[in-house]
Every structure is written in structure tokens, then in C-alpha cells.
Structure 1
Amino acid sequence: MEQGDSSREVPPVGLEIMEQEQQDTATEALIPPIDHSRKRRRPNADGPKKKSSCWDHFIELTDVVERTAACKHCHKRYRCDPKSHGTSNMLAHSKICYKNPYLENDLKQTNLAFGSGGLISVSPKFDKEACRKAITLFVILDEHPFRVVDGEGFIFLCNQLEPLLTIPSRRTVARDCFQLYLDEKLRLKAYFRSDCSRVALTTDCWTSIQNLSYITVTAHFVDNDWNYQKRIISFSLVPNHKGETIGRKLEDVLREWGLRNVSTITVDNASSNDVAVAYLKKRVHIKNGLMGEADFFHMRCCAHILNLIVNDGLKEQDSSVSSIRNAVRFVRSSPQRALKFKECVEFSRITCRKHLCLDVSTRWNSTYMMLDAAEKFQTAFEKLEGEDVGYVEWFGRHGPPCYTDWEKARAFVKFLKIFYEATKVFSSSQQVSLHTAYHQLSSVFGELQEASMNLNSDLASVGHEMKRKYDKY
């Protein structure tokens, strides 16, 4: 041994052994003792633990013969037998499920693509077919012409929203609209066959200014969620509006849509509709599609009945209504006259915010709205009579509305208000209105009876004629 090594201290062998035994004793103290009395853990009754990440979004169904799993978000089903199918299809679906709330976090990263302005960043969620369908719905819902897609502003907007989108032509949009109609028609037919047991029908006929006869048929039903629904199932030309023609057309519509059970059909109060309903009733009865004895199969339109009643009242007030209508027509005939009338309104300090409107001869409710707005500007019309010579000459020998005309119009508007409110209830298209018919018609009856019995009122003769028409129906 060299001299330098003699100075090192070598621990004895016995000391190393003691230190190792102390460390082993401390380690054994941390390990719990094995309990041989405990039973061995039984395997999972549902099978081995599922390791695939797709099971975070799927749940296995137990009430089916073959092993099947359903998506927790959209409820779409896939076979999940590990021997024959596996989980690849479920894993692929979980990455594209449109109802998956966790999918948005995975799609925040954008991709790079070449657009019209060079290299741009785009979202991986871009779906060409979805954009095409959105454009189709945009044209249909907002009633735009097909050429709207050729507009410079629309093209600029689409390029800003999605540079990769190829804007379709007007012909393509027209084809897409028609294809959407066909798809919705097939889906509605399938619903009628499977989930809709009975429908109620309404129909209306009219003639255009080109002397073409049209008919529309609307189906009303309650969906699986007990919500009121209505769909126009026919809008077509007919040779004429005779009863047999209408009846055959209704039969063709029911056959086309596969409808057998019809609860009621609501039509206008025309003699031709009586023939059409009688024809349709026989055809539905053959198919055993009537409810009970079909005592209420033929329903008469309440709104049309009110229209007939009010028109009889308008005949009695025709001179006063015509005079006020001509006054409104004078003001709306030119911008200069409208400006002059505005000055008269400001001079008379009228604070009413309503605007003068002309009525439509075939819609009595528009006559009500015209009188309701015009009578509030009586002082302005009287002021205009002294300011504008042309206003007096406009009426000729009959002259502008007098004080009596305005008083009759004011009383008539107050009288017609209950009819106007009832018509709005009957014409509702968002909810069922049949259960409110009795209350509205009862209120109308009380109003007519009160007006006809008040002999001191100018509306006595009007109320009598309207009540006679009311009793008829």
C-alpha cells in the first residue's frame, strides 16, 4: 500500500449492515400488511372498462338485441360490438357531431388557405353545403329575387364572411329553392303517414286581375310536442270556382298527400262551397276518415261572417265614409299637398303620431283603420279647407266632409272596434282560435243589440241591419 492511502478511514463492515437493516425496517413500516381474509375483487359485471375516448360522448343501450351505442348529444346510434364493429365509427362521429358542446373548443384553431386576397386564415368548420342552404333560406325567408346573389354588395358580404365560398348563380339558387321544397314535401308526407293521425283543412278561392282562378289549401294539425302547426299543402290554378271543381281539387290534394282522416274543413260562406264540402264529405266517408257522424265537418269562416256583417253597416254610412276617403285621397295625391297638410297639423297642435292611409274596397278592416286615423286630424282638415282652394274644388258640388260626417265617423269607429279586435283573433295564424269564437261572437251580439235598441243614436239603423245579417248566420 502506498503512503498516501494509509490516511483514509475505512468503516467497519458491521456498521454498514446495521444501517441497511434500519432502512429496511422503515420501508416495511410504510407498506400496509397483506390482509389474507379479504376476498378477491370480482370483475366488472358490465365488462372491461372502456378505454376509448368516444365513450365520453356515447352511452351503450341495454334494451336492444345487438350491442348498440347512442350519442349523448344528437342520439344517433351505432353498432358497438367489439368483435365486428369496434369504436372507429363512434370516434369519427364524436369529432363532427353538430350538437357536441365540447366540439367548439377543438375547432378554434384556424387553417391557412389561398383566397382572392392571397394567403388567408379560414375556420375548419367551413361547410359548402351549409352555406348554400343558408343562401337558399335567405332568399326564401326574406322574399328576395334570385338575382340578389349577383349583386355587388351581396358578393362583397359573402367574401368577407367566408372567402372560400363560391357564390352560386341565380339559376343554381332557383334549383336549390325548388329542391328544398321537394325535400320538405317528402318530410311532411312522411310525418303525415307516421305521426299525424288527423288534420283540419281550410281553403280559400280568389280570382287575380288576369282573371285566373286560384285555390289554396292549408292543413292544420298538432305535432308530437302538442304545438299547433299549419302547412300550405296546395296553391294551384283551377278552371273555375264551381262547387264540383273545388271538391275534386280537394280530393286530389288529399290523395297526393296521403291524408285520409279529416276532422273539419273551413270555407267561406259561398253556395259553391256547400257543394264542394258535400262532395268531399262523401269521399272521406268512403275511407272512414270522418269524426263521429260528421256533424261539424263543415265549418264556416267566422272572419268572413264578420266581414259580411260589417259591409252591411258600411252601406248605411257610405256617404260619410266616401267623403272622408276623398279627403284622405287628396292629401296623399301629391307631396306638395302632403306638406301643406303637415303645416295645418302643426298649426292645429295635433300630437297624434298616426299616418293617413287609404282603405281597400274589399277589406273593411282597412276602412276602419282609415277612419280611425283620419278622425283625429279633423281640425287639420278644416284648417286645410281655408288654406287651399284646390281642396274644396277637389270635392265638386258635394263639398269636403262636414261636422256631421266627422261625428258619424267617430261613432262608427268606436262601434267597429269590437269587430276589428274579433277579426284579429279569428285571423291568428300562430295559435288555435276556435275556442275563442264563442266569446268574441257573444261580445259582437251584445254590441249589435245595444246599437239597434238605442233609437236616439245615428247607429240605430246600422245596428239593425247588421244584427239581421248576424242572425242569418
Structure 2
Amino acid sequence: MDEGGLLGGKFLFKKLPDGLLDKTRVRCTICKAEFRYHRSSSSLAYHLRAKDPTESASTGPRQSTLQEYGARGRITKNVREKLTNSLVVWIAKNCRPVSIVEDDGLREVIRAASGDVCYNLPSRGTIVSRLHTLYEDQRAQQSSKLVQVRNVALTGDHWTSVNNDNYLGVTAHFIDNDWTVQSFALTVSKTEERHYAEACADHFLNVANEWKIKDKVTTLGTDSARNMVAAARLLPFEHMPCMAHILQRTVTVSLNDSAFERALAKCRKIVGHFKHSPANAQEFQHTFFVFILHLLHCKTSCCSLFNSLVSLV
């Protein structure tokens, strides 16, 4: 109720000669008719609808119907589709398990963010189907890019998972018509054979034939493992060993043949001793602080400090 009026000022209380308001009578500001007021505006709203429907539509909010209340705050179909597609891309790019769509916490997060308290995550079957569709779409896009180029370089390697399964990963590299370097994975396939040179060479040929780029491949990059080097000799591609792998092997062999290996062995022993025991780690923090103070005050050499630390292990 507005001050001195009802229904948004459409009805005003009758003013008495002394300036006070008569709260038992109201006057319509549209037709100037007077009505008795019994603390209920239902009859006044009926008068507005009968005399001036356009004015009655602006008297204030009406009570929502059951259908309107159920649809309030619900996610639309288009937004729901965008959420499902975003979930599929997230699962694919971040290697999340498909079962994450059954996570109650994720559902509550989306409900809180969207304001839809009735939102439910898509089922596993929907996610798996969308994943297959996403894979086929991405594969078609990558295939169209490979058709437009003349030369392609491949890099690949065999690796073993935590479950002791063997996989082959192959990546394509090329420069497109805009002189932009493009790189994307062609396959990460599980292999059952032993990684002999002939088997490795067949795997690379199968990938090239599957993507129809055998005649476009000019270079194959691998590590310097003996089976990979032998496999490259069996293929009609130029072999380019991985420089990062060569550098790592050079550093490893150099350290193994030097006197510095003894210092590294002691360092590994120290780290292992304190890493696997919280009590030892806490003791190390206290002891290390004492050693630093001793070094500053007594000017102890670094070698004696290191030997003292080793003696604790």
C-alpha cells in the first residue's frame, strides 16, 4: 500500500476538511468514483478491470501460475546443449573419466552457477556418443588440412602405461598455406607386438596409409633407441633423431663417467632418507638451521658441512 493511495496510486484515501485522511473511503483517480475500503483491494482491482483494463495491467505483480513457477529459472534447451558439449570437450581435453557425469558435486556446481535447481547431468551413454561424434568431426578437420599440404613430417615413439600396456603415439607436423606451423596427433594406439624394428616400421607405415599421407611424408623423428633407429632404416623416410633425447643421453653418460657421480649418489641418498620419513624431515629442518648458524659464526667450509650432513644418514 502506497502512502495515501492504493494499487499504485490508482485509488486515494478521501481527505477530510481538517486535512486528515479517511481510511474507510477511497476515490478512483480515473473515474472519480468513491468506494468503501475494508482493508481489501480485491473489489478495487475488479473496478479497474471493468472500467479501464489497461490501467489494471500495471497495478502490480500477479501470482504466477503453476506452469510459470515450474519454468522459472530453468535452463533452456539451447543452454543445456551448450553445457553438454562443453562437458564433452572438457572430458576429452583433460582426460577425465566418463563416470564424472555421475558426480553429485559437479551437478550441484552447475545448478548453483545456472540457477536451475532441477538440472541433471547427461548420462554416460550421451557423453560417449558425443565423444565419438567429436572425434569424427576433429578427424575430418585434420584430414582436410593434410589434403592441402605437400610435405608432412612425423614424430613418434612407443611408451608403456601405468598398467604395463604398450602404446604408439604418432604426431604430424607441417606448414600450411599461411606459413603457420601445424602439429596434431594422428594416433595413440595400443600395440600387442614386441617392439622389434620390423614391427615398429609396420606401425608407422600403417598410420601413414590410414591417413593417406605416405607419399607426403618426408621425415620421421624418433629417439635414439636401437629399435627405432633400425626401424627408420627400413622406411623410405629420412630419419631425424630427437636432439633433446641426444642431449639428455649425453649428459647422463657424461655424469656416469665422472667423479661427480659420487656426489650425486650422496645427494640422492640424503633426499631419499628425509623424503620417506616425516620425522626425519622435521629433524632435518632443525639440524639444517643449526648448521647454517654454525657456518656463519665459525666459518665452516662447505665440504665439512656436507660431510657432517651425510654422517647423519
CA deviations on 1:402-438 (whole Å, 9 max, x unpaired) are xxxxxxxxxxxxxxxxxxxxxxxxxxxxxxxxxxxxx
1:248 aligns with 2:202: yes
Contact 1:213-1:241 within 8 A present in 2 as well = no
The residue aligned with 2:227 is 272
Q: CA deviation at 1:184?
A: 0.9
Query: Measured at CA, do residues 143 and 216 of structure 1 come closer, stay the same or move farther in structure 2, by a change above 3 Å?
Result: closer
Q: 141-150 or 259-268, which moves further after superposition?
A: 141-150
Question: Residue 150 of structure 2 aligns to a residue in which SS?
Answer: coil
Q: CA RMSD in A?
A: 3.4
1:167 aligns with 2:167: no
Query: Measured at CA, do residues 154 and 207 of structure 1 come closer, stay the same or move farther in structure 2, by a change above 3 Å?
Result: closer
1:275 alignment partner AA = A
1:145 corresponds, among 73, 83, 97, to: 97
1:217 aligns with 2:166: no
Question: Residue 158 of structure 1 aligns to a residue in which SS?
Answer: helix
Query: Measured at CA, do residues 385 and 213 of structure 1 come closer, stay the same or move farther in structure 2, by a change above 3 Å?
Result: closer
For the residues of structure 2 that align with 1:218 and 1:178, how far apart are their CA atoms?
20
For the residues of structure 1 that align with 2:163 and 2:96, how far apart are their CA atoms?
24
Question: Residue 179 of structure 2 aligns to a residue in which SS?
Answer: coil
For the residues of structure 2 that align with 1:379 and 1:119, how far apart are their CA atoms?
77
1:329 corresponds, among 249, 258, 272, to: 272
Contact 1:146-1:171 within 8 A present in 2 as well = no
Q: CA deviation at 1:182?
A: 2.2
Contact 2:154-2:221 within 8 A present in 1 as well = yes
The residue aligned with 1:263 is 218
The residue aligned with 1:85 is none
- TM-score (normalizing by structure 2): 0.64
1:303 aligns with 2:258: no
1:199 alignment partner AA = V
User: Percent identity, aligned pairs only?
Assistant: 27
For the residues of structure 2 that align with 1:136 and 1:332, how far apart are their CA atoms?
39
2:157 alignment partner AA = D
Q: CA deviation at 1:231?
A: 1.1
Contact 1:205-1:216 within 8 A present in 2 as well = yes
Contact 2:107-2:119 within 8 A present in 1 as well = no
For the residues of structure 2 that align with 1:200 and 1:118, how far apart are their CA atoms?
58
Answer 1 or 2: which has greater strand percent: 2
1:312 aligns with 2:259: no
Q: CA deviation at 1:378?
A: 8.5
- TM-score (normalizing by structure 1): 0.44
Contact 2:107-2:120 within 8 A present in 1 as well = no
Q: CA deviation at 1:114?
A: 8.3
For the residues of structure 2 that align with 1:159 and 1:114, how far apart are their CA atoms?
21
For the residues of structure 1 that align with 2:137 and 2:163, how far apart are their CA atoms?
32
Question: Residue 344 of structure 1 aligns to a residue in which SS?
Answer: helix
Q: CA deviation at 1:210?
A: 5.7
Query: Measured at CA, do residues 254 and 153 of structure 1 come closer, stay the same or move farther in structure 2, by a change above 3 Å?
Result: same
1:227 aligns with 2:227: no
For the residues of structure 2 that align with 1:114 and 1:229, how far apart are their CA atoms?
55
Contact 2:158-2:169 within 8 A present in 1 as well = yes
1:278 alignment partner AA = R
2:239 alignment partner AA = H
Query: Measured at CA, do residues 338 and 114 of structure 1 come closer, stay the same or move farther in structure 2, by a change above 3 Å?
Result: farther
2:195 alignment partner AA = H
The residue aligned with 1:179 is 133
Contact 2:175-2:181 within 8 A present in 1 as well = yes
Query: Measured at CA, do residues 153 and 113 of structure 1 come closer, stay the same or move farther in structure 2, by a change above 3 Å?
Result: farther
Contact 2:186-2:207 within 8 A present in 1 as well = yes
Query: Measured at CA, do residues 334 and 177 of structure 1 come closer, stay the same or move farther in structure 2, by a change above 3 Å?
Result: farther
Query: Measured at CA, do residues 148 and 307 of structure 1 come closer, stay the same or move farther in structure 2, by a change above 3 Å?
Result: same
1:198 aligns with 2:151: yes
The residue aligned with 1:431 is none
Contact 2:224-2:242 within 8 A present in 1 as well = yes
CA deviations on 1:23-45 (whole Å, 9 max, x unpaired) are xxxxxxxxxxxxxxxxxxxxxxx
Structure 1 unpaired stretches of 5+: 1-111, 285-296, 351-376, 393-473
The residue aligned with 1:419 is none
Structure 2 unpaired stretches of 5+: 1-63, 294-301
CA deviations on 1:273-326 (whole Å, 9 max, x unpaired) are 333223320xx7xxxxxxxxxxxx221111121122112122133322111101
What is the aligned length? 236
The residue aligned with 1:414 is none
For 1:341-420, what aligned pairs fall within 5 Å after superposition? Answer: 341-348=284-291, 391-392=312-313
1:267 alignment partner AA = T
Contact 2:101-2:121 within 8 A present in 1 as well = yes
For the residues of structure 1 that align with 2:151 and 2:66, how far apart are their CA atoms?
55
Query: Measured at CA, do residues 207 and 119 of structure 1 come closer, stay the same or move farther in structure 2, by a change above 3 Å?
Result: closer
For the residues of structure 2 that align with 1:149 and 1:113, how far apart are their CA atoms?
33
